Amino acid sequence: MKNLLIYSVSNTERLSYILNFFWGNNYHITNSVEDFRSHIGAKIAYSSDQIDERAYWIQSTDLLQKQNIEPQSCNISYWKNLPIFFQNGGDLPFDILAASFYLLSRYEEYLPHEKDQYGRYKETNAIAFKEKFLHLPLVDLWFQQVETILQEKFSDYQPQLSTFRYIPTFDIDMPYALLHKPFYVQVGRLAKNMLNGNREEFNFQINILTAKTQDPFDTFSLLDTQINQYVFSPL
């Protein structure tokens, strides 16, 4: 049973994406003010103005009503010890739907930006890095607060139960530092260290090749142990 009604003047793809992320199939959406006002139960007005004093009002910005991509002003303040942006004057002090869409869609990565040496988006450009919340599951923490508020405001509201999966992946470009390298590579590195007088490294490489020392890149047994211990299913 859907136990949440949400009002919005229009249901765009962006809005639908973030509502589905938060509430899945557990909500209805309407653009009828009359139907919204007559609804008895939990309801959120996602609108520029308050349309129903009994509803929980999230004052909307225009990000989710647009289709284009353009720079956004993301000034950080704090609410319940959590960083927020897209602040406004609703019952919630910021547009959580637009802010969450901004982070989850990685909106900023579609804007002109500086790339790293591999042609990827440079993490130092990200708002999460600049404002020091990269380590926080910020969208989930925001949503937990909203769920608590909705439970307090509407006695019949049933909160969403969050589920998570962890799927490790391993991107191994160089599985071994020396072991299993072509013979000429092994000999070349030994000769280089001998000629340069790097006796410690030379002896270390000899020990690797004679199986007295483990190749420093060979961490596969450790990975296997971790996978078995925590019952991972890596890709």
pLDDT at 113 over 90: no
- Span 52-107, pLDDT tens digits: 999 999 999 999 999 999 999 999 999 999 999 999 999 999 999 999 999 999 99
pLDDT, residue 132, reads 96
Mean predicted lDDT score pLDDT of the chain: 92
pLDDT, residue 1, reads 54
The token pair that represents 109 in the structure block: 């990565």
pLDDT, residue 109, reads 94
- Span 155-175, pLDDT tens digits: 989 887 777 777 888 888 888
| Averaged pLDDT, 181-205 | 89
Total residue length of the chain = 235
